[in-house]
Amino acid sequence: MAEPLLNLSPRPSDEVRQTTCYMCACRCGINVHLKKGKPVYIEGNRDHPVNQGVLCAKGSAGIMQVLAPSRLQQPLKRVGPRGSGEFEPVSWEEALQLATGWLAPLHRENPEKLAFFTGRDQSQSFTSYWAQAFGTPNYAAHGGFCSVNMAAGGIYTMGGAFWEFGQPDWDNTKLFMLFGVAEDHDSNPIKMGIGKLKARGARIIGVNPVRSGYNAVADDWIGITPGTDGLLILALVHCLMAAGKIDLDYLSRWTNAPLLLNDDPGSPDYGLFLRDAEGNKLVIDKNTGKPARWDAKGVRPDLNGQLQRDGLTHRTVMARMAAKYLDPAYAPEQVAERCGLQPGQIRKLAADLARTAFDEAIEIQQSWTDFRGETHEVMVGRPVSFHAMRGISAHANGFQTCRALHLLQILLGAVEVPGGFRFKPPYPKPVSAHPKPHCKVTPGAPLDGPHLGYVEGPDDLCLKEDGSPARIDKAYSWENPMSAHGLMHMVISNAYAGDPYPVDVLFLYMANMSWNSSMNSGGVMEMLTATNADGSYVIPKIIYSDAYSSEMVAYADLILPDTTYLERHDCISLLDRPISEADAAADAIRWPVIEPDRDVRGFQSVLCDLGARLGLQGFVKEDGSQKYADYADYITHHERRPGIGPLAGWRGKKGEKSGRGEVNETQLQTYIDNGSFFTAHIPQEALYFKPWNKAYQDWAVETGLYDAPQFYLFDLWSEPLRRFQLAAEGHGTRQPPDHLRARIKAQLDPLPLWYAPQEETADYPYHALTQRPMAMYHSWGTQNAWLRQIHGINPLYLPEQIWQEKGFAEGDWAEVTSPHGSITVPVARMAGLNSKTVWTWNAIGKRKGAWALDEKAPEASKGFLLNHLIHELLPPKGDGLRWANSDPVTGQAAWFDLRVAIEKTEPPAESQPHFPPQKSPVGRGPQTVRQQSGPDQQSPQKKAGER
Amino acid sequence: MTQLPPASDKKLGLVIDLDICVGCHACVISCKGWNTENYGAPLSDMDAYGENPVGSFLNRVHSFEIELEDGPAQNVHFPKSCLHCETAPCVTVCPTGASYKRAEDGIVLVNEEACIGCGLCAWACPYGAREMDQAEGVMKKCTLCVDRIYNENLAAEDQIPACVRSCPTGARHFGDFGDPNSAVSQLVAEREAVDLMPEQGTKPVNKYLLPRIKDRWLDQPEAGDVLPVVAEEPEGFLKWLDKALEKL
């Protein structure tokens, strides 16, 4: 039989439109192929700095997201009781009038009675600007329940952190160590980097209780006990210091290790830096033996300098570090068992790190000049790199663990050097270059400044005059003084409790707070529906914007339906969380590559409208009319500082300027014409040593990242932390409440330390963790028709020890209990798992009625959430106080501190707890999905064999 | 029954690196996307939002846990699609000639027009690499993106299978295994790539690179694995520090 004739060159599409993915937070460039105006295929953009052509499963499944039956269709007004899902469609005009009617009196009289929190928002520089204009102090996005410990730990230690702030030097590193769950932050670049390492034969070490994902390809796997990463890291620090295997030259030049500290325990400045009359921190200059400014020309800071001045002893940070980390408490023999390791393994790891960093050091033949005026002929590199994200962050000791990891990197001299960790513009950026948080409310006027920022001591906290928290989430209060991303996970709980005060309108965007984005999901549902004696809701009004029929929709009074990511404008801005790479600053846009076929509007455009209706400063012209017609108008015309706008590319009247420049009316079109992104490459001389490199700092100023060079030293000793400790010790006028003193003294240590993240309890012997699968991580929206076939069920994975001990067999179910509650769920055995740890995929479980899924969908019958076992508060201590289940420094939600007990049980009909179905505002999805654009490109019946 | 063509000089296929694959499913979904829109009937998803969603996929990733006596368990992510066998049993079993192997390059395809949906080829395939499309009633399988690799409407660099183009770790390589000098042939030689289930006699074109040996660090530390100590306590360390700083 002759072979059929094939059309080997079908046209893949009529047109390709390039935009930015939004299937997770990675923000890759995508080519959207369109036929007859409809998207038919999505692939990676080869020219894009983030993904260079590749694309993950989520990205390719974007088609199913754009066609999802769960897309909301029009604005909705609640008509049934909250939680029922009973709505009536309303016009946008009616919806916006309703919202304006609720919000206008608050803006005029009590702006703080609006709590505006924006979830997985990628437009935070805009939404925060809106919230600031409204005048409420109550704004944040989802960082507080995600990875704020990583961000804050990094910024407070080295002026940048992993992911958006920096990346391993994938092309030069020889040893890469990955701590904890990090499958998404960021998705494709880490996979591409791992591919590069593997191709070169570089070594990958995975530290994770669960051997899944990247740990599956790691050369060496360390199945650590959850919450003990910091202990392992500080044991490595102990070994390296005791062996003298630390980069003394690096530490003396680029870190605060040689800075002089007040060493007199009786002094009110004990533990603060010695400063000259102008406030400059001081070191002992090895050349002269005398004190000198840290940044003076030609100074060689002495790591072991000492100085008596005004009757006080001053010694270096390095001396304090020696005292702390040579303590036998950090010896491998002392910590190994707790970590689930052998002491010899820790010692071997320390030796491997030292050998790679020092014996296998690399050099790049490139001269550069530092801030002290010294020119270096070569760039010496320590080819050891690290990455971590939520795994080590989401513990109550996460902040200090993240700091410990950065301490380790810095001791090895492996930050901003070839082969190590590299910052991405606009980072590096010292704490002092960030704004301070603002909370001063003036009715009818904007807040006195940006909501979120970096505090440097008690004076910067957001407290009312009576000392109580100024913010609804208690961010920047004594409970969590350095809560740089806010505490979204506490908003509903605090609003319900009226602690610190009640709110009138809860306004949420892209956050599934009645389900997988909250701890204690069942309790949150009760809080959202709780009523006062008169029948009114305790949280009076809830406005929610989402593109999809999520579980949260049913709990809102007013729904403002958002578009999908292919139907909207966005800017991924250098003012916000950009897509830069270590070699280049970069930003990007989204634009409507298709028009919505429903009565929905991009949320940011709605805020432009709502802002004008409310008369918010910055959203109305002088004549009171609407300033920005929509978000695209804002992106083009808004200037944060003169010449600095949301987008850095093609500024100036003719698009001739980069970074700084006048508004360019055709800027968005130029982005579109250039693949929807912009890059500004860093000069060769400026590629490494960025915080100290004159060439980099000059380039950063020229590019508009900041207005003057920002040279700084890495903060091994964190003076802001020490200032909070001093307050807890009784110094200063702003004093913590007594019940928090001991905790602040112990845990806000200016040097990284480890403490147990939760109390040991024999009743709940096992650790329970969650992670999102790679094919879904950080992907919100619908339950995607293609991806749900990969991950539609989520058993609780048990290690061999528990499996045997409890007599489990395939198909069994378990009752899992925590101090807070109990769930009954299917189990499965897994061998590559820490023996005290169980885990499951997060957010597979769905509530019946949500996401346009059938009520019999496995996600809704067998799927489950661990959230029901995790309370936003710690168990009551009998003091009448509400203790948040959060990191005491940043307030990060301590998801991974969950402890459980497990017993085999009879299988119930469905996973427990079980919640009644919500009425779906969008109906059910179709039975069969069979998307193909039709006959124009190939033969009419789509038969192979025809040309 | 259908005859195989004489062995072709050109043998197109994939070599998949199991040492690198992280199991992210990027290849699965990019394949689904391209092949839903292109070659033959769309890849359907039955009960797409329901209790038992069943879709057609030409490529799937299976994950296996390997338990070892002398080390921790290891995870292997194993992407699997048609291996375009040289002696493809799925072709010879086909009663209508719908299942065929291209004489030019060895790609195994299904002519959907001639496919009667009997399913014999899926039974014959020892790898489980074929799936019946539940909506169309025809057999679906990897086409090696035959409508991409020669596609004049695509840039030269994009004339590769969708799965290869999307793979973020670079675990998938496409090329001509009939040419000993091709990049894939060299990779096969260097890394001693293996055939899947060679005992079946199917002579698969696709090859697999095996995971490298892992968890060597668990060996008992040797002498060089423990760093010599310069100081056990702070004062000694600071004395060492002074001396070391003099040498800088």
Question: Chain B contacts of A942, Cβ < 8 Å?
Answer: 40-42
Q: How many residues does chain B have?
A: 248
Closest to B57 measured CA to CA, from B156, B162, B192, B160: B162
The string of pLDDT tens digits covering residues A585-605 is 999 999 999 999 999 999 999
Label residue A655 left, alpha or beta by phi (over 0 means left) and psi (-120 to 50 means alpha). left
Chain-chain contact of A927 with B147 (C-beta, under 8 angstroms): no
Q: Cα separation of A625 and A615, whole Å?
A: 8
Q: To the nearest whole angstrom, how far is the Cα of B197 from the nearest Cα of chain A?
A: 23
User: What is the mean pLDDT of each successive set of 10 residues along chain B, which is 248 residues long?
Assistant: 91 98 97 96 97 97 93 94 98 97 98 97 97 97 98 97 98 98 98 97 97 78 81 96 93
Chain-chain contact of B17 with A198 (C-beta, under 8 angstroms): yes
The string of pLDDT tens digits covering residues A610-634 is 999 999 999 999 999 999 999 999 9
Check residue A943 and give its pLDDT: 38
Which of A188, A195, A354 has its CB closest to that of B20?
A195
- pLDDT tier, A301 (very low <50, low <70, confident <90, very high otherwise): very high
Determine contact, residues A662/A576, Cβ cutoff 8 Å: no
Q: Cα separation of A403 and A388, whole Å?
A: 11
Whole-number Cα distances in Å, A853 to A1, A232, A315, A509: 46, 44, 64, 22
In this structure, what are the phi and psi dihedrals at residue A247, rounded to the nearest 5 degrees?
-90, 90
Check residue A183 and give its pLDDT: 73
Task: Please compute the mean of the pLDDT values over residues A896-909 and round it to a whole number.
Answer: 97
Q: Cα separation of A502 and A539, whole Å?
A: 8
The string of pLDDT tens digits covering residues A485-500 is 999 999 999 999 999 9
The string of pLDDT tens digits covering residues A535-594 is 999 999 999 999 999 999 999 999 999 999 999 999 999 998 889 999 999 999 999 999
- pLDDT tier, A1 (very low <50, low <70, confident <90, very high otherwise): low
Closest to A214 measured CA to CA, from B63, B171, B23, B27: B23
Q: How many CB pairs under 8 A join A and B?
A: 318
The string of pLDDT tens digits covering residues A906-915 is 999 999 999 9
Residue of chain A with shortest Cα separation from B94: A1
Question: Chain A contacts of B23, Cβ < 8 Å?
Answer: 212-213, 216, 774
- pLDDT tier, A946 (very low <50, low <70, confident <90, very high otherwise): very low
Burial A718-741 (b: 16+ CB within 10 A, else e): bbbbbbbbbbbeeeeeeebeeebb
Q: Cα separation of A388 and A154, whole Å?
A: 11
Chain-chain contact of B74 with A10 (C-beta, under 8 angstroms): no
pTM: 0.97
Check residue A214 and give its pLDDT: 93
Check residue A932 and give its pLDDT: 82
Question: Chain B contacts of A65, Cβ < 8 Å?
Answer: none
DSSP letters along B36-82, please? HHSSSS---EETTTSSS-EE--SEEEEEEEEEETTEEEEEEEEEEE-
Chain-chain contact of A216 with B75 (C-beta, under 8 angstroms): yes
Across chain A, mean pLDDT equals: 95
Chain-chain contact of B103 with A220 (C-beta, under 8 angstroms): no
Check residue A940 and give its pLDDT: 35
Task: Please compute the mean of the pLDDT values over residues A160-189 and round it to a whole number.
Answer: 91
Question: Chain B contacts of A218, Cβ < 8 Å?
Answer: 214
Q: Cα separation of A795 and A466, whole Å?
A: 49
Question: Chain A contacts of B248, Cβ < 8 Å?
Answer: 248-249, 252
Chain-chain contact of A55 with B168 (C-beta, under 8 angstroms): yes
Please give the structure tokens belonging to residue A95.
Answer: 């919806």
Q: To the nearest whole angstrom, how far is the Cα of A758 from the nearest Cα of chain B?
A: 28
Task: Please compute the mean of the pLDDT values over residues A389-406 and round it to a whole number.
Answer: 96
Chain-chain contact of A944 with B248 (C-beta, under 8 angstroms): no
Chain-chain contact of A926 with B49 (C-beta, under 8 angstroms): yes
Residue ranges of domains in chain A, CATH in brackets? 82-149+432-566 (3.40.50.740), 162-424 (3.40.228.10), 717-750 (no CATH), 766-905 (2.40.40.20)
CA dihedral A514, A516, A522, A527 (to 10 degrees): -30
What is residue A635's three-state secondary structure? helix
Residues above pLDDT 70, as percent of chain A: 98
R_g (Cα) of chain B, nearest Å: 25
Which DSSP symbol is given to A915? -
Chain-chain contact of A245 with B153 (C-beta, under 8 angstroms): no
Check residue A779 and give its pLDDT: 80
- Give the 3-state DSSP-derived string for A310-351, with helices as H, strands as E and coil as C: CCEEEEEHHHHHHHHHCCHHHCHHHHHHHHCCCHHHHHHHHH
DSSP letters along A92-120, please? HHHHHHHHHHHHHHHHHH-GGGEEEE-TT
Residue of chain A with shortest Cα separation from B18: A217
Chain-chain contact of A220 with B214 (C-beta, under 8 angstroms): yes
Which DSSP symbol is given to A355? I
> Is the predicted ipTM greater than 0.95, yes or no?
yes
Question: Chain B contacts of A242, Cβ < 8 Å?
Answer: 227, 229-232, 237
- Give the 3-state DSSP-derived string for B87-127, with helices as H, strands as E and coil as C: CCHHHHCCCCCCEEECCCCCCEEECCCCCCCCCHHHHHCCC
Which of B24, B215, B228 has its CB closest to that of A191?
B24
Q: To the nearest whole angstrom, how far is the Cα of A319 from the nearest Cα of chain B?
A: 7
CB-based burial of residue A326 (10 Å sphere; 0-12 exposed, 13-18 middle, 19+ buried)? buried
DSSP strand E in B129-231: where? 131-132, 139-140, 172-176, 207-209
Cis peptide before A737 (omega within 30 of 0): no
Q: To the nearest whole angstrom, how far is the Cα of B9 from the nearest Cα of chain A?
A: 18
DSSP strand E in A626-729: where? 677-681
Residue of chain A with shortest Cα separation from B218: A345
Question: Chain B contacts of A341, Cβ < 8 Å?
Answer: none
Q: To the nearest whole angstrom, how far is the Cα of A328 from the nearest Cα of chain B?
A: 9
Residue with more model confidence, A313 or A146: A313
Check residue A502 and give its pLDDT: 97
Residue of chain B with shortest Cα separation from A218: B214
Q: To the nearest whole angstrom, how far is the Cα of A216 from the nearest Cα of chain B?
A: 5
Please report which helix (H) or strand (E) contains residue A251, including its range: helix A248-254
| One-letter identity of residue B104 | E
Chain-chain contact of B75 with A788 (C-beta, under 8 angstroms): no
DSSP strand E in A123-245: where? 139-140, 166-168, 175-179, 203-207, 220-222
Determine contact, residues A134/A114, Cβ cutoff 8 Å: yes
Check residue B223 and give its pLDDT: 64
DSSP strand E in A811-898: where? 813-817, 822-829, 837-841
Which of B66, B241, B248 would you mutate first to test chain A, the one with the most A CBs within 10 A?
B241
In this structure, what are the phi and psi dihedrals at residue A731, rounded to the nearest 5 degrees?
-90, 150
Q: To the nearest whole angstrom, how far is the Cα of A330 from the nearest Cα of chain B?
A: 12
Flag whether pLDDT at A782 surpasses 80: no
Please give the structure tokens belonging to residue A773.
Answer: 């699968």
Determine contact, residues A35/A25, Cβ cutoff 8 Å: no
Q: How many residues does chain A have?
A: 947
Question: Chain A contacts of B234, Cβ < 8 Å?
Answer: 319, 322-323, 326
Displacement of CA B60 from its chain's centroid (Å): 9
Q: To the nearest whole angstrom, how far is the Cα of B212 from the nearest Cα of chain A?
A: 8
- pLDDT tier, A182 (very low <50, low <70, confident <90, very high otherwise): confident
For chain A, the 3-state helix, strand and coil shares in percent, each to the nearest 5, are: 30, 20, 55
Whole-number Cα distances in Å, A333 to A221, A236, A336, A757: 20, 12, 6, 21
Check residue A945 and give its pLDDT: 33
Residue of chain A with shortest Cα separation from B19: A217
Determine contact, residues B65/A831, Cβ cutoff 8 Å: yes
Q: Cα separation of A205 and A189, whole Å?
A: 18
Check residue A758 and give its pLDDT: 85
CB contact set of A647 (below 8 Å; sequence gap of 6+): A571, A573, A587, A589, A635, A667, A671, A678
What is residue B208's three-state secondary structure? strand
Alpha helices in A80-206 (DSSP H): 92-109, 124-134, 148-158, 187-200
The string of pLDDT tens digits covering residues A210-242 is 998 899 999 999 999 999 999 999 999 999 999
Residue ranges of domains in chain B, CATH in brackets? 12-218 (3.30.70.20)
Residue of chain A with shortest Cα separation from B33: A41
Task: Please compute the mean of the pLDDT values over residues A364-388 and round it to a whole number.
Answer: 98
Whole-number Cα distances in Å, A598 to A40, A72, A74: 19, 8, 7
Q: What angle in degrees, to the nearest 10, is found between the helix axes of A521-529 and A488-497?
A: 40
Which of B37, B146, B227 has its CB closest to that of A243?
B227
The string of pLDDT tens digits covering residues A408-444 is 999 999 999 999 999 999 999 999 999 999 999 999 9
Q: To the nearest whole angstrom, how far is the Cα of A7 from the nearest Cα of chain B?
A: 7
Chain-chain contact of B37 with A852 (C-beta, under 8 angstroms): no
Which of A8, A198, A223 has its CB closest to that of B72?
A223
The string of pLDDT tens digits covering residues A793-826 is 999 999 999 999 999 999 999 999 999 999 999 9
Which of A929, A936, A939, A943 would you mutate first to test chain B, the one with the most B CBs within 10 A?
A929
Q: How wide is the angle at C-alpha A262 spanned by C-alphas A258 and A266, nearest 5°?
A: 155
Question: Chain A contacts of B50, Cβ < 8 Å?
Answer: 853-854, 856-857, 925, 927
Check residue A819 and give its pLDDT: 93
Determine contact, residues A784/A773, Cβ cutoff 8 Å: no
Task: Please compute the mean of the pLDDT values over residues A898-906 and round it to a whole number.
Answer: 97
Q: What angle in degrees, to the nearest 10, is found between the helix axes of A229-242 and A398-411?
A: 30
HSE-CB at A364 with a 13 A cutoff on CA atoms is: 22
Whole-number Cα distances in Å, A445 to A109, A128, A327, A442, A463: 10, 15, 54, 5, 19
Question: Chain A contacts of B20, Cβ < 8 Å?
Answer: 194-195, 198, 217
Chain-chain contact of A854 with B211 (C-beta, under 8 angstroms): no
Pairing of strands A822-829, A766-771: unpaired
Please report which helix (H) or strand (E) contains residue B33, including its range: helix B26-37
Flag whether pLDDT at A936 surpasses 60: no
Alpha helices in A675-751 (DSSP H): 694-702, 719-728, 738-747
Q: To the nearest whole angstrom, how far is the Cα of B201 from the nearest Cα of chain A?
A: 25
Check residue A266 and give its pLDDT: 92
Widest Cα–Cα separation across chain B: 86
Check residue A947 and give its pLDDT: 30
